[in-house]
Amino acid sequence: MERTPNLNLPYIMASQAQKHVTHNEAIRGLDAIVHPGAESRQVLVPPSNPTDGVRYIIPVDTDAEAAWGGSSNTIAVWQDGAWAYYQPRQGWTAHIADENVLLVYNDNEWQPLADFQRDPTVEIWGINATADTNNRLTLSAPASLFTAENDDHRLSINKSDIPDTASILLQTGYSTRFELGLTGDDDFKIRSSTDGINFEDAMVIDQTTGNVRLPRTVTAKLGGNSVGSEQIASGTVYPLTQFNVTTDTLFDSTFSAGILTIGSVDAGMWSLEFQSNIAGPPALKGVYIRRNGAALAIMQFDAMNGANVLKAVTTAQLEAGDRIDFSIYQSTGANQVPGGATRFFAYRVGN
């Protein structure tokens, strides 16, 4: 064997004359191919005035092979006033200066090292941070950027089933203050927390209808006053029907002929207020707020004479389908409630 099996460098043979020639040839070979870095792999014609030791990879091009006098993918090195050619072997690496890329010679071609080493089965990856079995992708950096390769870019967070959670947590000192996503069902929620353990729903968007609820604030309002005179019979609770609506931000509830009918989106805790300026002869008089015909709040006074202001106020949990009316009562004698003598206000305050 006269040459080495991997780098194809010459051996100095026994009793060989001019051993320095063989030795220097091996040294030149090592200088060319150990830690190789080429200027380019795109130059089709050899430079006219190369510097000693400069290296190129001959492009995969028939004309380039003819111009260089060597095979495609070969490392060409200017040594001792002439081009020397070294055929790469499987696994050799080379840095290409004009592309700033590291290549690997694999399957008879030069390939980017990043492509050659790509492994889609990495289970844990920490970037400037320590990942663990729960936080398998962990990044510590001033900012992160996800950008479109062409036109669009979507970030997907998938959960296994409806009762599971797919969300984004916003934290202080690793304690969650806000959570955004699908938590326990398929409605979108924004939830707040003071301790990272107990949460309050601040906003809920129904995934079927798109309706928005703000459980911690007023989400539905209704207000108005009477506009026409209405006759009250003696000894009856009379629901008023003639109202002018001055405030209406209902979602799926309705108000008609003095009846507020609660919808599914507006169901929850409501604050209700009804006030009337009742005139007439002495009698037991009262104002009622009723749900489905049963009193929720009553304000009564006996032996009232002349104009008297009565107000009923209550807070109640109202369900979808509940019917709320605002009624007047007088124990004896007929009476008439003139337009503008009553007013009501109702608003949702929470779940």
Q: Indicate whether 206 and 233 sit together in one domain.
A: no
Mind listing the pLDDT tens digit for each residue in 223-262?
Answer: 999 887 888 888 888 899 999 999 899 989 999 999 999 9
Label residue 51 left, alpha or beta by phi (over 0 means left) and psi (-120 to 50 means alpha).
beta
Give me the pLDDT at residue 231, please: 82
* Same domain for 179 and 111: no
Q: What per-residue confidence (pLDDT) applies to 167?
A: 97
For tokens 């063989």, the residue is 22
Per-residue model confidence (pLDDT) at position 191:
95
Do 191 and 225 lie in one domain? The reply is: no
The values of phi and psi at residue 345, to 5°, are -150, 135
Tens digits of per-residue pLDDT, 307-347? 578 899 999 999 999 999 999 888 877 777 777 889 999 99
DSSP secondary structure letters along 283-299: EEEEEEEEETTEEEEEE
Are 67 and 114 members of one domain?
yes
Is 230 found in the same domain as 212? no
Question: Which CATH number do you get for residue 245?
Answer: 2.60.120.40
183: part of which helix (H) or strand (E)?
Answer: strand 175-183
How many structural domains is the chain composed of? 3
- Same domain for 170 and 136, yes or no, is no
Q: Give the residue ranges of the chain where pLDDT is below 70.
A: 1-17, 19-35, 116-120, 216-218, 279-282, 302-307
Which residues neighbour 190 within 8 Å (Cβ) at sequence distance 6 or greater? 178, 179, 180, 201, 202, 203
Residue 117 pLDDT: 61
pLDDT of residue 350: 78
Residues 188 and 235 in one domain: no
Q: Which domain holds residue 134?
A: 35-144
Compute the distance between CA of residue 199 and CA of residue 216 in angstroms, rounded to an integer.
12
pLDDT for 256 equals: 94
Determine the number of helices (DSSP H) and then strands (DSSP E) in the chain: 3, 27
Q: Where are the alpha helices (DSSP H) in 170-309?
A: none
